[in-house]
Chain A
Amino acid sequence: MSEVHPLTTKETAHVARLARLDIAADRLEALRSQMAGVLGHVARLKAIDVEGVEPMTTPFDHVNRLDADEPGPCLAIEDLLRNAPAVEGRCLAVPKVLAEES
């Protein structure tokens, strides 16, 4: 009972940009059709009456309790930098953030 979802290739490319995923042009159509298949299946949610129902973001109400704001031990910078793909001194190296011209 899946609906056909009208997702377009252009929208798919837009979502890929939002998700910061560089996806080759020749893969976009397959991805679009798979996403449309899942979204078509998901469309059955529309048939359910949710009038007046509160959204449930987590299973229990004990989530996100706050701790006292006290300093404690943390991981060593050297340990953390060991996993970094590019390092300069004790800093992470990244490409230029601000473009030359605007």
Chain B
Amino acid sequence: MSAAFTDATATRDAVRSRKAKALEVTAWAIERARRANPRLNAFHEILEAEALEQAEAVDRRIAAGQDPGPLAGVPVAVKDNIATRLGRTTCSSRMLENYRSPFDATCVERLRGAGAIVMGKTNLDEFAMGSSSEHCAWGPVRNPWDDERVPGGSSGGSAAAAAAGLCGVALGSDTGGSIRQPASLCGCVGFKPTYGRISRYGLVAFGSSLDQIGPLTASVRDAALAYSVMAGVDPRDSTSAPAPVEDPLSALDRPIEGLRIGVPSQYLSQANDPDVNACVQASLDRMVKAGATLVPVELPLTDVGISTYYVIAPAEASANLARFDGIRYGFRAKARPGQSLDDLYAESRGQGFGPEVQRRIMLGTYVLSAGYYDAYYGRSLKVRRLIKAEFDRAFETCHVIAGPASPTPAFRMGGLADPLQMYLCDVYTVNTNIAGIPGISVPVGFVPRDGKPLPVGLHLQAPAMADALLLRAAAMVERLHPEAAQRPSG
């Protein structure tokens, strides 16, 4: 078996047309993941026996003449904050070290129903809080292009797995950039759909008004394929959008006539790495040559996005993470004489959560506490509306808005020790979540660092519910950058 099964669309075509068996595809992916994982630490768990069993079931369906589904035999790596019946769901936290979900997340259920194979659970920043995948209970994820650099975060394990070709589709979650920033740093496609487009049922909640699940893949087509299976209203998530899902695949390869790309002056900032700016500019130049028009737009609140986000997200996190109390599930501190119920909560949470999660809970508790609520949380919610209005205005003159997904390429492990400096990595991605609109990072080139090429992603954003249009624009960008499809060696 010499073929690569890392292209989800090609894999399912091969499996559906009986040119390959789901079992051989799965065995191939598992073997590849096993070999790469000691170096990358992308997977918490590789579910070999369970994956082979799922693959056999897909092969049996095909043998029986049944439709195996649009993702037949495609190995899927699931971020470990998304609930799966198979394996554990740890959120990379000691708090959930032994947690086994009694149910599948809706997105997992839909992927499995479409013939996809859950092959493992991927590493992440604890509870998806971080931009480097270093805040992990069982060691950091490494960037497949350079072991000494971070893969970005928080979906760093999924981004590394997708970029290194260890799976057909990786699932991530994105609260402030956690799909798009690691996709940019690892060199794969990372798509955060419109808020509410994919059910959050089974996603361990971080910031409920910001969280969205999405795919990380080798190509825009694979992202669109996975999205088309997962998207749509879910009775188990009251915030899932009831509007019908526009098919993203049928027109994907057709260029958008007269595409207008909004370029905010705030995005190609002097504070960015100059090589990243050059890469983004070169990509925009190619788009213009291909017939697109660049439109100057203004998003003056870009800069206060981080401030707004680091009030709203910790506030929601502090409420969501209150459920981890050591009683119903998760880590419980040792009993000791005289320990009250309140002591048990505080000791379990003090020992079960890592430092970054504790920091966010503390910040959230502070901004929601009496006397500070209006000044912080209340004010942030008002700025949130202004940020959304600013996007609405910009989209009156353009179809999509473009810029860098991350101000820098992958940085060195341990390079951003100060939490605030780490938070500033998300400057171009948090406002997407604040406004609830879709965003995607597409690889557009490399910058050399220490003799190694490091990927750079172009970030595109579109109006709410324009997910199909966004994917189509991303496919146009992708076609103009065949050289960016390169994979890391090893």
Tell whether A pairs with B: yes
- The answer on a CB contact under 8 Å between B304 and A21 is no
- The answer on a CB contact under 8 Å between B209 and A41 is no
Query: A55 vs B209: C-alpha distance in the bound complex, in angstroms?
Result: 13
Choose among A31, A67, A97 the residue that contacts B238 (Cβ–Cβ < 8 A): A67
Q: Interface digits, B324-335 against A, CB 8 Å rule (1 contact, 0 not)?
A: 011111111101
Q: Does B395 contact A (CB under 8 A)?
A: no
Residues of chain A with a CB closer than 8 A to B333's CB: 22
- The answer on a CB contact under 8 Å between B384 and A21 is no
Residues of chain A with a CB closer than 8 A to B481's CB: none
Q: Interface digits, B205-249 against A, CB 8 Å rule (1 contact, 0 not)?
A: 000010000000000000000000000000100110110000000
Q: Does A4 contact B (CB under 8 A)?
A: no
Q: What is the minimal beta-carbon distance from B241 to any residue of chain A, in angstroms?
A: 6
Q: Given contacts A41-B310, A58-B239, A59-B436, are A48 and B359 in contact (CB under 8 A)? A: no
Residues of chain B with a CB closer than 8 A to A66's CB: 238
Which stretch in B50-58, B291-299, B372-380 binds the other chain? B372-380
- The answer on a CB contact under 8 Å between B328 and A21 is no
- The answer on a CB contact under 8 Å between A63 and B239 is yes
The interface size of chain B toward A, counting residues with CB under 8 Å, comes to 75
Q: Does B256 contact A (CB under 8 A)?
A: no
- The answer on a CB contact under 8 Å between B196 and A60 is yes
- The answer on a CB contact under 8 Å between B335 and A95 is yes
Interface of chain A residues 39 through 63 with chain B (CB within 8 A): 39, 41-46, 48, 50, 53-60, 62-63
Query: A2 vs B307: C-alpha distance in the bound complex, in angstroms?
Result: 11
Q: Does B351 contact A (CB under 8 A)?
A: yes
Residues of chain A with a CB closer than 8 A to B449's CB: none
- The answer on a CB contact under 8 Å between A63 and B384 is no
Residue in chain B with minimal CB distance to A24: B350
Q: Given contacts A19-B318, A95-B335, are A85 and B329 in contact (CB under 8 A)? A: yes
Choose among B366, B382, B418 the residue that contacts A53 (Cβ–Cβ < 8 A): B382
- The answer on a CB contact under 8 Å between A20 and B369 is no
- The answer on a CB contact under 8 Å between A21 and B102 is no
Residues of chain B with a CB closer than 8 A to A75's CB: 102-103
Q: Does B423 contact A (CB under 8 A)?
A: yes
- The answer on a CB contact under 8 Å between A53 and B385 is yes
Q: Interface digits, B343-379 against A, CB 8 Å rule (1 contact, 0 not)?
A: 1111101110100001101111110010000011011
Q: Interface digits, A80-100 against B, CB 8 Å rule (1 contact, 0 not)?
A: 101111100000101111010
- The answer on a CB contact under 8 Å between A50 and B238 is no
Query: A34 vs B342: C-alpha distance in the bound complex, in angstroms?
Result: 26
- The answer on a CB contact under 8 Å between A31 and B306 is no
Choose among B102, B209, B362 the residue that contacts A80 (Cβ–Cβ < 8 A): B102
- The answer on a CB contact under 8 Å between B328 and A84 is yes
Residues of chain B with a CB closer than 8 A to A7's CB: 366
Interface of chain A residues 11 through 32 with chain B (CB within 8 A): 12, 15-24, 31
- The answer on a CB contact under 8 Å between A64 and B238 is yes
Q: Does B464 contact A (CB under 8 A)?
A: yes
Residue in chain A with minimal CB distance to B375: A46
Choose among B102, B386, B419 the residue that contacts A34 (Cβ–Cβ < 8 A): B419
- The answer on a CB contact under 8 Å between B435 and A21 is no
Residues of chain B with a CB closer than 8 A to A92's CB: 327-328
- The answer on a CB contact under 8 Å between B362 and A15 is yes
Q: Interface digits, B22-57 against A, CB 8 Å rule (1 contact, 0 not)?
A: 000000000000000000000000000000000000
- The answer on a CB contact under 8 Å between A21 and B358 is yes
Q: Does B250 contact A (CB under 8 A)?
A: no
Known: A23-B358, A35-B359, A63-B238. 19 other contacts (CB 8 A): A15-B365, A31-B358, A31-B362, A34-B418, A35-B362, A37-B418, A42-B310, A48-B383, A48-B386, A54-B385, A55-B378, A55-B381, A56-B384, A56-B385, A59-B388, A64-B239, A80-B102, A82-B102, A95-B341
Partner-B contacts on A (CB < 8 A): 2, 7, 12, 15-24, 31, 34-35, 37-39, 41-46, 48, 50, 53-60, 62-67, 75-76, 79-80, 82-86, 92, 94-97, 99
Name 27 interchain pairs, CB-CB below 8 A, sorted by A.
A2-B420, A19-B318, A19-B364, A19-B365, A21-B358, A21-B361, A22-B350, A34-B419, A35-B363, A35-B366, A37-B420, A38-B419, A41-B306, A45-B304, A48-B304, A53-B386, A55-B382, A55-B385, A58-B436, A60-B196, A79-B102, A83-B328, A85-B330, A92-B327, A92-B328, A94-B327, A99-B340
